[in-house]
């Protein structure tokens, strides 16, 4: 490892290093004249140039042929590193692997890669990572996923070639692969690399970071996953219900392919569409290939996850299911949960995010002992720009607590929710599935339930009620058809000011002013438009939701038709949540059949569904459990 210079001591053991720096010496022997990073106040400092940084472009040989043309694919890699690496500086790599560099672009301003002078080297680098981290002693790598931009082959939307695109580059960085320049000459593995790589990215890019981590590749030291899908089945389906149809997987592959290669890659997309199972929504080997949760035990890297609790694109079950597996295997980890939708933390918590990310990479890639891993593991946005810290997630003390359905006080009105069992004989409540019912209709006007839903509503709460984890609706129910969908919504009824995640911008608005993060060159500035929170005060908020195909009540792979009129036990998980219901608010659970705004294809049976209320219940992960529910008057 290259020597490290520290301007400010980080502890008693580093005092000598600080004194040496004040005399113009490095922390190693005076005879060692290699340049080193500089650490002040626990973080690396921008002591290396940006405008004079070395820019390179190589193609890494891949062990797969995604387009079946008889030639192994090549993965395009753009590299920027401090010029001091030519004089012995050893640096880690921060890598953003993406399929979007020439199509949708990256970040809030949709930046694309640009080679403005035609010399084959990037002049415009998307995002701020290069501007900020290269001067601090990092190399930044922007990798084109297979079949996108300058990489050869065809995208497979989280198929094996996509999943291995970054791994082959990390193997090359660590001397286990080959790369070539524009003339086809072999490029040796870089001597400037310190052996550590960190991956970062939002959405598909975060997905590629997860995919690389579960390979267990040596040399990947950390990943920062910002709202990346951890299982593509759960991105396009849920519990047997198709939530994105019309061969959505192939459509994504088409979107990220450059227009001049779309015809060439059409046969690959046809293969994807033939295997995706749009007609059933069942789980298959096609989806198993695109599931990273099952391989979480292979992760060697630390993991920093970021997710919006109101993300309706990559829903929060993607972080929760992977996070749960990481915990089982004691993987070093950190979590940031926001109230926004599908938004990068650079755009909802910019200053704090850059500081946290800086310390995270310094710790895991540069070995700077800044004690970030001794801080609380989890930060959660509780109200607009109000964050609270916790030791873990779900929040410690959360316990599964049963809320039982109570008789309604008014005919045609809502029924109740309580920790107490309802008295009297079991009662059945019946409603008819209406596939055209909107979510607004589902959650509005709870005083008049109507024929197409069940409404369970608590009394006004007398104390705060903190839900942290995955709620589950347990229904004992029958239908008069052989198939039906089931849906449920958890709603907070009561006035509150919150992030307006349902409007354009998913909780943020982009301003005309800019601020700068890092250093600039004539072709690439470090400045980005600032953002502000979109805030709204409303009388209700959807907290969570869930869907299920009754055919898949026991298995995602094997559908089982219902016997009309026969009772079954259904366990319907909602999306994970971390929400505090305020005193005076009412907790509402809405049960429906088809859920139009969640699933792309409604069930056509229009079944009549009967629920046995005395046997059914709502399992809520409450911080404080039964006692907290009782204090809140449930």
Residues forming the active site: 203, 311, 342
Is the separation of the CB atoms in 110 and 127 below 8 Å? Answer: no
Q: C-alpha distances in angstroms, 604 versus 87, 145, 332, 434, 549? A: 69, 39, 46, 9, 12
DSSP 73-136: -EEEEEEEE-GGGGGT--EEEEEEEES-TTTT-BTTTTB--B-TTSSSS-SB-SSSHHHHHGGG
Is the separation of the CB atoms in 326 and 237 below 8 Å? Answer: no
Q: Give me the residue label for tokens 């409603």.
A: 431
Which residues have C-beta within 8 Å of that of residue 588, sequence separation ≥ 6? Answer: 414, 443, 446, 455, 456, 457, 458, 489, 490, 491, 492, 493, 540
- Collapsed DSSP state (helix, strand, coil) of residue 253: helix
Is the separation of the CB atoms in 360 and 317 below 8 Å? Answer: no
Q: What are phi and psi of 307, to 5 degrees?
A: -155, 145
Q: Give me the residue label for tokens 């003390």.
A: 397
Rounded to whole angstroms, the Cα distance separating 196 from 174 reads: 9
Give the residue among 185, 160, 156 at the shortest CA–CA distance from 59: 185
Specify which residues 378 forms β-bridges with.
335, 390
Structure tokens at 50: 């940006």
Relative to beta strand 508-516, strand 465-469 is unpaired
Rounded to whole angstroms, the Cα distance separating 500 from 541 reads: 10
Is the separation of the CB atoms in 557 and 464 below 8 Å? Answer: no
Please list the helix, strand and coil fractions of the chain in percent, rounded to the nearest 5, in that order: 20, 35, 45
Name the E strands within 203-301: 220-226, 237-238, 241-242
Is the separation of the CB atoms in 269 and 153 below 8 Å? Answer: no
Relative to beta strand 428-432, strand 508-516 is unpaired
């Amino acid at each position: 490892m290259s020597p490290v210079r520290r301007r400010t001591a980080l502890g008693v053991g580093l005092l000598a290093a600080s004194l040496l720096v004040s005399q113009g010496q490095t922390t190693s022997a005076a005879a060692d004249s290699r340049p080193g990073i500089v650490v002040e106040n626990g973080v690396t400092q921008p002591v290396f140039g940006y405008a004079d940084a070395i820019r390179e472009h190589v193609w890494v040989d891949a062990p797969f042929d995604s387009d079946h043309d008889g030639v192994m694919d090549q993965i395009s890699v753009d590299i920027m590193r401090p010029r001091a690496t030519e004089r012995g500086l050893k640096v880690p790599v921060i890598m953003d692997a993406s399929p979007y560099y020439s199509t949708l672009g990256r970040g809030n301003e949709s930046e694309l890669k640009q080679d403005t002078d035609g010399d084959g080297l990037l002049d415009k680098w998307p995002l701020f990572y290069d501007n900020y981290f290269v001067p601090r002693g990092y190399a930044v790598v922007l990798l084109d996923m297979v079949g996108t931009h300058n990489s050869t082959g065809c995208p497979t939307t989280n198929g094996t070639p996509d999943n291995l695109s970054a791994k082959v580059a990390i193997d090359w960085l660590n001397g286990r692969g080959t790369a070539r320049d524009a003339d086809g000459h072999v490029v040796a593995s870089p001597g400037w690399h310190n052996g550590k790589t960190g991956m970062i990215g939002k959405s598909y890019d975060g997905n590629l970071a997860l995919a690389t981590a579960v390979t267990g590749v040596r040399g990947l030291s950390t990943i920062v996953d910002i709202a990346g899908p951890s299982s593509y089945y759960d991105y396009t389906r849920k519990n047997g219900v198709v939530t994105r149809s019309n061969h959505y997987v192939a459509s994504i592959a088409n979107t990220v392919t450059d227009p001049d290669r779309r015809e060439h890659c059409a046969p690959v997309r046809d293969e994807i569409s033939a295997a995706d199972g749009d007609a059933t929504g069942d789980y298959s080997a096609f989806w198993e290939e695109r599931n990273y949760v099952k391989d979480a035990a292979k992760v060697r890297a630390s993991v920093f996850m970021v997710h919006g609790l109101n993300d309706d694109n990559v829903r929060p079950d993607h972080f929760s299911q992977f996070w749960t597996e990481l915990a089982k295997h004691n993987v070093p980890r950190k979590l940031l949960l926001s109230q926004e939708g599908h938004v990068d933390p650079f755009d909802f918590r910019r200053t704090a995010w850059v500081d946290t990310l800086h310390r995270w990479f310094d710790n895991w890639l540069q070995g700077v002992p800044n004690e970030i891993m001794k801080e609380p593991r989890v930060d959660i946005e509780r109200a607009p720009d109000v964050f609270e810290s916790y030791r873990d997630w779900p929040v410690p003390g959360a316990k599964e607590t049963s809320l039982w359905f109570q008789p309604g006080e008014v005919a045609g009105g809502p029924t109740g929710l309580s920790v107490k069992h309802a008295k009297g004989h079991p009662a059945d409540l019946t409603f008819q599935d209406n596939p055209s019912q909107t979510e607004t209709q589902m959650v509005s006007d709870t005083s008049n339930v109507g024929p197409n839903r069940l409404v369970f509503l608590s009394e006004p709460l007398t104390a705060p009620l903190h839900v942290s984890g995955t709620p589950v609706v347990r229904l004992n129910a029958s239908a008069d058809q052989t198939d039906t969908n089931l849906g449920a919504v958890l709603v907070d009824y009561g006035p509150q000011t919150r992030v307006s995640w349902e409007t354009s911008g998913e909780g943020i608005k982009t301003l005309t002013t800019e601020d700068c993060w890092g250093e600039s060159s004539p072709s690439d500035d470090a400045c980005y438009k600032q953002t502000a929170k979109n805030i709204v005060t409303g009388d209700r908020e959807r907290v969570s939701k869930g869907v299920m195909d009754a055919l898949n009540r026991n298995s995602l792979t094997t559908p089982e038709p219902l016997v009309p009129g026969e009772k079954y036990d259904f366990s319907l998980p909602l999306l994970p949540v971390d929400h505090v219901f305020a005193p005076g608010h009412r907790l509402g659970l809405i049960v429906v059949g088809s859920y139009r705004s969640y699933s792309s294809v409604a069930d056509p049976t229009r079944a009549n569904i009967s629920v046995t209320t005395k046997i059914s219940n709502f399992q809520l992960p409450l911080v404080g459990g039964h006692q907290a529910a009782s204090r809140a008057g449930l």
